[in-house]
């Protein structure tokens, strides 16, 4: 959610343009979400973070956050780094804005290649004018 808050222009992160205004001018607001393990922490109602070793709270929460972010017009790229758990990889894949926005890497060389691919996709998707 903090990634979305940084892009919306709402306090405490002011932005020059809203997501829709930015898109109308040819821009694209994007989040790259990378994980190196299972989703094992979840917020409590009190604001504290609790252990959620089976993902029963954290995974549905993450799915809802991803839906909210995509619903606001923000592109999500996800990177599964050295993740062998099928459920965690599936969660990240579902969170991505499309299949082409999901990446998996199991070494630093593969991770570097993933970020090079993301850079190329972003360059293709937006045109910077000044």
- The string of pLDDT tens digits covering residues 12-40 is 666 666 777 777 777 778 999 999 998 88
Half-sphere exposure of 108 (CA within 13 A, CB side): 0
Residues whose CB falls within 8 Å of the CB of residue 32, separated by 6 or more in sequence, listed in order: 76, 77, 78, 79, 118
Mean pLDDT of the chain: 85
What percent of the chain is modeled with pLDDT above 90?
Answer: 50
Whole-structure pTM value: 0.82
Lowest mean pLDDT among 1-15, 35-49, 101-115: 1-15
User: Residue 39 in contact with residue 55, Cβ under 8 Å?
Assistant: yes
What are the sequence ranges of the domains in the chain? 2-125
Mean pLDDT of 6-14: 69
**Structure-model confidence comparison of residues 63 and 4, the more confident one:** 63
The answer, yes or no, to whether residue 130 has pLDDT greater than 70, is no
Residues whose CB falls within 8 Å of the CB of residue 97, separated by 6 or more in sequence, listed in order: 70, 75, 76, 77
Q: What is the pLDDT of residues 48-73, one digit of tens each?
A: 788 888 888 889 999 999 999 999 88
CATH no., domain 2-125? 3.40.50.410
DSSP annotation string for 67-112: HHHHHTT-EEEEEEES---HHHHHHHHHHSSSGGGEEEESSHHHHH
DSSP state of 16: S
């Amino acid at each position: 959610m903090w990634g979305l808050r940084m892009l919306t222009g709402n306090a405490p992160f002011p932005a020059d343009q809203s997501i829709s205004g930015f898109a109308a001018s040819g821009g694209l607001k994007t989040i790259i979400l990378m994980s190196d393990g299972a989703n094992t922490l979840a917020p409590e109602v009190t604001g504290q973070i609790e252990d959620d070793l089976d993902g029963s709270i954290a995974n549905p929460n993450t799915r809802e956050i991803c839906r909210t972010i995509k619903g606001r017009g923000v592109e999500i790229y996800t990177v599964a780094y050295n993740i062998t758990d099928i459920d965690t990889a599936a969660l990240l894949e579902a969170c991505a804005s499309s299949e082409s926005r999901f990446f998996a890497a199991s070494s630093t060389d593969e991770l570097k290649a993933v970020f090079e691919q993301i850079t190329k996709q972003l360059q293709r998707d937006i045109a910077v004018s000044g």
